[in-house]
A and B are shown apart, each in its own frame.
Chain A
Amino acid sequence: MQLQLKRTGGIINFKKLALTEVDITETELANLVSEIKRSQILNTQFRDSTSFFLVINNESIPIDLTKIPEKYKAVFEELISNLKPEKQ
């Protein structure tokens, strides 16, 4: 299954994307999403902050990188290091 990580926001608000193939079942993915999903509004006083999303079936799910379970840390580290800017 393909996992896409998206980074948005920041002082000039540009998007960065990374894609990877992972051996994960639908159930495992659902469990992962339920563990790392966060509400959209981070903090009303945050200014110029960046956010991460997991893109599954064209749906962007806001995620909290600090909640990544140990078994998926390597996958997300690879995704983060492979993030490439999406041109404006």
Chain B
Amino acid sequence: MCQQHQNYQPRQCIIPPYLSDKVFDKASKKNLSKVINNKLRSSRFRNDRNFFGSLNKQQRTAFIAGGKITKKPQLKMQVFNMKQNTVLSNAQVIWNNGKEIIKPDKVTKNVINGCRATWNLYYEIYGRNSIDNLGMHIKQYIHYDNKYENAFWDGRRMIFGDGDGKTFGSFTLDADIIGHELTHAVIQYEANLEYHNQSGALNESLSDVFGIMIKQRLLNLDVKKSNWLIGENIVKGNKYALRNMKAPGKAFINHPDLGNDPQPATMNKYVQMPDTEEGDWGGVHYNSGIANFAFYVAAFNIGGNSWEKTGRIWYAALTDKTLKATANFADFKNLTIKKATQLFGKGSLETKAVAEGWAAAKV
């Protein structure tokens, strides 16, 4: 044991005292001031530790500085113009965290408003800070490809096409679609539900569920006022939409290009499809209608604004650490009933409504 440092604990010191002593003894005139400085700092460090080490837990708390006041989380968003190209690296930034770089066109305004509505719902209602809950920058790419009839999430960013102008308009026309794509991102940072068969259909349904709540909140529509249509402005023609959550299978009927909406509303009509790209990974965009219908019935029976109670239950289930990537409809049903019970009590109207929703969908 070093005599000059009786409390010396080798695992805690950066430079052992015998070494700093040696350096001090051998210091030249030139570097003496530097060595003294180091020696002083080193001594201070050890003495502080000895001092704090001798305190009990209660005494130590008296020295803890007050918590740093952190800034309120804020939406960080960039919008890029693809100019009808498909090479993402060539995109031009046109909106940067509230800063207008180029005068925004209608599509830019759509994605800014849709993204803001999405961020606001997640933060103001569920306390989530952006898609990863760590304040992640949201990047949106618009005017992708020539007449591209789609919107998608690529694992890092959202991409929107302008539509062909005949069957589809811009895929930014509905806030529910912007919310849908951003919710795919949220799911990626939570259970990351596998994108095939029932877990994939659940992934799709959750994106629709949060998408419709984002739109309903933006337009101040309660469960009775809402028409529960997803993408109603994107599909051209007044009687068409991309999906109908109130009546899956009725978003488009006898559409001249699309034909009939293939979504089932109940489990007994579950569509069996190949688990391939061509088979929509086991029909993820088809069978999501079942879980969508369960949410609609639950929300309608609970009443009021969907995002306030039903949304809270669905969000609690989505973010529950026990939700597995391979979860099926029955797993999610059980989890939403459990969450409703925890949030509103056993036998409550809300818990009953959730059970009724899944029963209506025959899950």
Contacts and interface: CB of A to CB of B under 8 A. Distances in A.
A46 B152 contact: yes
A87 interface: yes
Tier of interface size on chain A? 20 to 34
Contacts of A44: 155, 195
Contacts, number: 85
Contact of A46 (B154, B243, B260, B262): B154
B277 A62 contact: yes
Interface string A49-72: 111010000001010001000000
B285 A12 contact: yes
Interface string A66-88: 10000000000000000011011
B154 A87 contact: no
Interface in A1-27: 6, 8-14
A43 interface: yes
B260 A9 contact: no
Interface string B279-295: 01000011000000000
Contact of B262 (A9, A49, A51, A88): A88
Contacts of B149: 10
Contacts of A40: 276-277
Given A11-B231, A13-B280, A47-B184, 8 more contacts: A9-B150, A9-B277, A11-B150, A45-B188, A47-B195, A48-B181, A48-B184, A88-B258
B162 interface: no
Contacts of B86: 66
A42 B150 CA distance: 17
25 contacts: A10-B152, A11-B171, A11-B242, A11-B285, A12-B243, A40-B277, A41-B277, A42-B277, A43-B155, A45-B153, A45-B154, A45-B188, A47-B184, A47-B207, A48-B152, A48-B181, A48-B184, A49-B152, A51-B277, A53-B278, A66-B86, A85-B257, A87-B255, A87-B257, A88-B261
A88 B260 contact: yes
B260 A13 contact: no
Nearest to A86: B259
Contacts of B175: none
A64 to B, nearest CB: 12
Interface string B242-277: 110000000000010111111000000000000011
Contacts of A42: 277
A77 to B, nearest CB: 10
A6 B155 CA distance: 24
B154 A49 contact: yes
Nearest to B147: A81
B253 to A, nearest CB: 10
Contact of A9 (B243, B258, B259, B280): B280
A46 B277 CA distance: 11
Interface of A: 6, 8-14, 40-51, 53, 60, 62, 66, 84-85, 87-88
A53 B278 CA distance: 9
Q: A10, A60, A85: which has the most chain B beta carbons within 10 Å? A: A10
Nearest to B192: A45
5 tightest A-B CB contacts, nearest first: A45-B155, A87-B259, A88-B259, A47-B184, A10-B150
B215 interface: no
Contacts of A43: 154-155
Contacts of A49: 150, 152, 154
Contact of A85 (B167, B184, B261, B285): B167
B211 to A, nearest CB: 10
Contact of A60 (B154, B184, B278): B278
A50 B63 CA distance: 59
Interface in B221-257: 231, 242-243, 255, 257
